[in-house]
């Protein structure tokens, strides 16, 4: 992941971790991290004025590197900046640090979309000027990290039932809800501490939208990703993969070598 920009660049905010953000061990959940990323994104747009010129964005991939988890009670500081862009999308980094030692590094591939067509649209001149302040990468391209093909069905397949509160204004499943499904799979995985007990990376790629009325099947496998223990979760609708998530352990000094983790 790209390092932080000089002091004073980017956007910074913070808040206390709430009891509803954590699991039974008081660890900040992935879906809570995803909500934090959405919230700071909205606050950033409002503070910069881009809420008027570039108000609508969808995320295509989110990477969460947990160097040290946040454990409630803790107050976290979030710092957001652009680490690469093209004319229609950008990589947005957010570092989350806590007053009790949390360190979570994230990066999201965000696409600017038109409210009328729902298709990618050019970022405004004002937006490009602002985002360019923290990066020299102006030819960012999308490259899918994880393959679409899911394994054969098994007895471990499970249904993920959508609730009315899981949907956003576009009738799509909210980004954070996917991470709730991942948390559910991890909670049922034996010896999951081998994957998540130390520094680890969690990645999700949204390949196609899931909307109200879709019947979702979660299929997962425990496997090796290079030298790392990993769990991959496929979100299937009518047999087609719509989203892929992977959580993998990292054996080493993630705080200084997060970028070396296999993707």
pLDDT in tens, 47-74: 999 999 999 999 999 999 999 999 999 9
- Give the pLDDT band (50/70/90) at residue 259: very low
Phi/psi region, residue 46 (left: phi>0; alpha: psi -120 to 50; beta: rest), is alpha
What per-residue confidence (pLDDT) applies to 37?
98
* pLDDT over 60 (residue 199): yes
Number of H helices, E strands in the chain: 6, 10
User: If you average pLDDT over every residue of the chain, what do you get?
Assistant: 94
Band of residue 261 on the pLDDT scale cut at 50, 70, 90: very low
CA angle 214–220–224, rounded 5-degree value: 150
Residue 116 or residue 101, greater confidence: 101
Percent of the chain with pLDDT over 70: 95
Q: In sequence order, which ranges of 16-171 are alpha helices (DSSP H)?
A: 30-48, 50-53, 125-131
The dihedral over CA atoms of 238, 239, 240, 245, expressed in degrees to the nearest 10, equals 110
Is the pLDDT at 252 greater than 70, yes or no? Answer: no
Question: Is the distance from CB of 81 to CB of 93 less than 8 angstroms?
Answer: yes
Burial class from Cβ neighbours inside 10 Å (0-12, 13-18, 19+) for residue 181 reads: buried
Q: Residue 126 has which token pair? A: 């004002």
Let me know: does 247 contact 178? Beta carbons within 8 Å. Answer: no
The C-alpha atoms of residue 30 and residue 220 are separated, in whole angstroms, by 17
Indicate whether 262 pLDDT > 80.
no
pLDDT at 254: 53
Both tokens of residue 165? Answer: 């509160």
Tokens of 221: 């496998």
**Sequential DSSP letters for 123-147:** PPHHHHHHHGGG-----------S-
Residues making up the chain, counted from first to last: 263
pLDDT in tens, 139-171: 999 999 998 899 999 999 999 999 999 999 888
């Amino acid at each position: 992941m790209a390092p932080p920009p000089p002091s004073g660049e980017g956007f910074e905010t913070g808040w206390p971790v709430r009891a509803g953000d954590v699991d039974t061990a008081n660890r900040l959940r992935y879906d809570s991290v995803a909500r934090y990323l959405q919230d700071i994104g909205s606050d950033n747009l409002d503070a910069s004025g881009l809420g008027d010129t570039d108000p609508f964005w969808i995320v295509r991939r989110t990477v969460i590197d947990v160097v040290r988890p946040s454990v409630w009670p803790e107050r976290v500081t979030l710092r957001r900046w652009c680490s690469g862009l093209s004319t229609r999308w950008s990589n947005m980094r957010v570092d989350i640090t806590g007053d009790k030692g949390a360190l979570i590094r994230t990066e999201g591939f965000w696409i600017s979309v038109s409210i009328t067509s729902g298709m990618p649209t050019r970022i405004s001149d004002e937006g490009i000027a602002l985002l360019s302040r923290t990066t020299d990468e102006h030819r960012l391209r999308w490259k899918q990290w994880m393959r679409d093909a899911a394994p054969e069905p098994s007895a471990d397949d499970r249904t993920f039932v959508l609730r009315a509160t899981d949907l956003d204004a576009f009738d799509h499943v909210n980004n954070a809800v996917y991470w709730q499904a991942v948390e559910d799979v991890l909670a049922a995985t034996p010896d999951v501490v081998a994957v998540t007990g130390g520094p680890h990376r969690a990645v999700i790629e949204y390949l196609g939208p899931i909307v109200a009325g879709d019947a979702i099947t979660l299929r997962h496998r425990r496997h090796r990703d290079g030298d790392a223990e990993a769990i991959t979760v496929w979100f299937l609708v009518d047999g087609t993969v719509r989203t892929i998530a992977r959580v993998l352990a990292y054996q080493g000094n993630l705080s200084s070598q997060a970028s070396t983790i296999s993707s």
